[in-house]
Structure 1
Amino acid sequence: MIVLEWIPLSVNLKIASIVLSFLKTMMFLKLVFYIITIILALITGAHGQVVQMDSNKSGFVGSQVELRCQFVNSNPPVKISQVTWQKLVNGTKQNVAIANPALGVSVLNTFRDRVRFKNPAVRQRTPSLEDTTIIFNKLKLSDESTYICEYTTFPAGNRENMVNLTVNARPLIQMSLSTPSIVAGSKDLKMTVATCISANGKPASVITWETDLDGEYSTQDIPNPDGTITVRSDYLVVPSREIHQQLLTCVSTYNEEQYTDSVTLNIQYEPEVIIDGFDGNWYLNRENVQLTCLADANPPISLFQWRCLNGTLPLSAELRDDVLIFKGPVTYDIAGTYICDATNSIGSASASVEVVVTEFPSFPHGVTQEQQQAGVVIGGAVVCGTVLLAAITLLVVFLYRRRSMFKGDYSTKKQILGNGYSKAGSVPAHPSLPHSLTFSDDSDEEKKLELSRGSSVLGGSVPEFHTCQMKAYHTGLFEDHESCRFNDHIYEFGSEVEVSVDMVPQMDGSVISKEECVF
């Protein structure tokens, strides 16, 4: 520092202090400028440089999958120095493939045959590294991992992103019978008749069954060392002859896809035997009769044997495996109880029939007993229907004739004594004699008969009773309710004496039956 001799020492010190403060201020401003520049560069780089990738990708074993990696540069752009693909294994990064503008493309030996860059520009002498998508071929279960795509840039530094790769395995569906032959048991014990396996799947399959059988199934998941899962399902049912040849279908659902496989049950069981041929109408001299042994068995019958409970078979009987033929006309000698024994590898069973020989046919030859019974039932139904129809017809005719023969009102009851009019009516100024009589339905038939013959149930003849009635009418006694007496029978004038409606009174005082009236 130069100090003027003529300037006082205090002034020199003051000037030196000012200069030093200025220098410190300039250094501070320069530092602040550099800091601001770095912050702006970092902010600009963070918003302008992006590595774009899918978050998750998946594929099946043996298939191909693309892992996308694209670099979005800033403006002005930064320089891409290198792109590195890495696999994350137990927290450690393992290189897969590298693209360098100066050194070219490099793929590690482990992935060399299965990994390549999709964009051809990456492999050129002057490469373009904005799109470094890679393609995985022949995927393995061991390829499942997290993959990192890292961009090295200048001056912004490193930029990276990652993708999770999932490798799935389609299962192998296999269905089989538990054993080639399943034997029906005598006890109601369920056993495994079929097994369905979904092997080496990832993720695990879901197995269900489609069948009409009344059974149940049990399912077990078995993990494999390579990460796949084998699912086993057993179908259990009681084996019997009824489920023989029944269809059993296994349905395996994997990733919303369904796979089916079916088997047909083969149940072995002992014979079930019946004898056919005897229709209950074997009569003397009938021709061409035979007995047939019908057996249901699995496996088929290996041996049929015929025998007679009464002793030996008749001489006219001829054995032809499951058929017993009787040659010639029917005689009493073939009557008896016949037994058929049927045998297969599972067991034996028998059936019997009693043959009865009659002198004459029970029903026409060629018509079975069942057909005869059916004819009887049909004939009986026809007869019943005819009788019922006839009864209905007669009832309708009777009601029609009764209605057409009677001209009055059945519901109105009229007096046979008094002025000839009903109680409900008024007496006219010049009343006339009654022109008709009505009788109640409950009148006695014998009284009707007597009345029709001229003898009165009132104790005298009808004319005499009519004379009494007329006398009471003309003398006005009907107002005093005088009585007419006949043979100690007193009938008050004006009372409601009813006679059966089956009798018709006449003008002369007599009555006749409706059945004898002609209208």
Structure 2
Amino acid sequence: MAVHDARNWPDCTKMIGLLLMVASILTQQGTSGQRVKTEPEVLSYPGQTVNLRCAFTDVSGTQLTMVTWIYEPKDGDRVNIAVLHPNFDPNYPESPLQGRVSFTNSSPDLKTPSIQITDVRMTDEGKYICEYATYPRGNEQGITFLIMLAKPQNSATAVSVVAGTKPVVVARCESADGRPAAKLKWVTTANGNETLAEKPGAENTVTVTSEYRMIPTAADNGKDISCVVNHRTQVKDESFQMKLAIQYPPQVRIVGYDNNWYVGRTNVMLTCEAAANPPPFSVNWKTMSGMEMPETVQLKDNVLKVLKVDESVNTTFVCEVANRIGTTKEQVTVLVREPLQNPSDPGPVAIIVICTLLGLLLVGALVAVLVTLRRRQQQGYRANGGSDMKTRIFGGGKKASKNGTGGGTGGGIIGGGANNNGPIYVYSEGSSHPSLGEKNNHHQPLTVGGRPEVVATTPTAQDILLSSELDDAERRKFDELEEEERYDHFGGGGPILQLRPPHDQSGMIGDYMDDDMESQKDGSVISRTAVYV
């Protein structure tokens, strides 16, 4: 291993030496570039005075022999413009800057040989080199770029064109006599392309021109378009806002016809609307047939007014609009319809009235039916809980109680100790027979299980009134009676039903009848216990 390392040692030494040499060269170049200090860039406008500074920062171990300022234009040869030697006066060789260039100090020093240029011109723009002659390293230099600025004159205009099918210039923008060249761009919604051109201006300035090209259409007229100029001398971009000016012949339409012009209709009109650039100078109405306008038609500007529609208006109207670019026509055909039915005609009104009355009658009949059904249901409930059969109770009145046959004013009581000797008669409400006495002539009480049973209480005066079996006159008469006399003097329209004793007391019928009868003031005799139905 030791032998192998010894053999590789010379190769490593050579590599290290090469790296040290490269580093030395780079260091010398970097030190040289850093020892001559200049400003990278200087800006100036025409007519001003500019200072170009230069200094040698580290003179240790170096002898400064001479300083030379060299001007190198953008397009041209290098030329010396100022020379400084410690043993001689400053020298200004023949150059475009002769007479306007000088060292800034009256006694210039090789360490700070700065110069100034008065009345700067646009042609003075270029590279300025401050070059030192030194010993033992030779020449060292620093570079400054002088940039001349010229604020351009910016402008933009829209170009009026006629609508067509080929691309044309619709807007133009220009930045003239600027330094450096300006940058232009377009902002618009119109569909087109831009072109850019530069040309030299006065005193080394530049004029930049841009055009916007497109196929012009009527729809593009009035659209916004802007040219934006960017230049180094401007604090912010300058924008020129414009509108496209596209000329086109009139675009015409007629409005106002609703396809409902009927005979007798009044004050209808047609309006001829036209869009054009430039604006139209004439609007004319005429008929397609070439005949004169109907007498009921009035023309004013772009409006055709019909005072009253009749058969003469049944025609085709033509509107003709013209401007400097061309003439356009539009037409509308009017179809006159039959007159509408007079709203005052009694026919429809009568039909409406009849239908209304029929509807009201139908509703009234329905209400009457419902009310009748309701009343019948209520009557059925008052009689026997909703049944069509009604029960009549005889006896149990005050007169009966006087004779010992009743149990008080209430009549028979189910399961009570009172004696109700009045039988119960039941009849059908739907029966047409006027007398219940004939239908129930057996005079037998209702029995359950072989013994008499009372199935309902004696009806009160109010129940009799609600039964709807008395007419109005009888109800009024009944109301006028005293409470004690209502049962004694009650007189109904039906026959008198007399209570008969049971079959096992038939032998006593004579006495029963005699005791039951009572004479009246008018000479008649009536039963005390009979009930009139």
State which structure, 1 or 2, has the greater radius of gyration over its C-alpha atoms.
Answer: 2
Given the two structures, how large is their TM-score scaled by the length of structure 1? 0.48
Given the two structures, how large is their TM-score scaled by the length of structure 2? 0.47
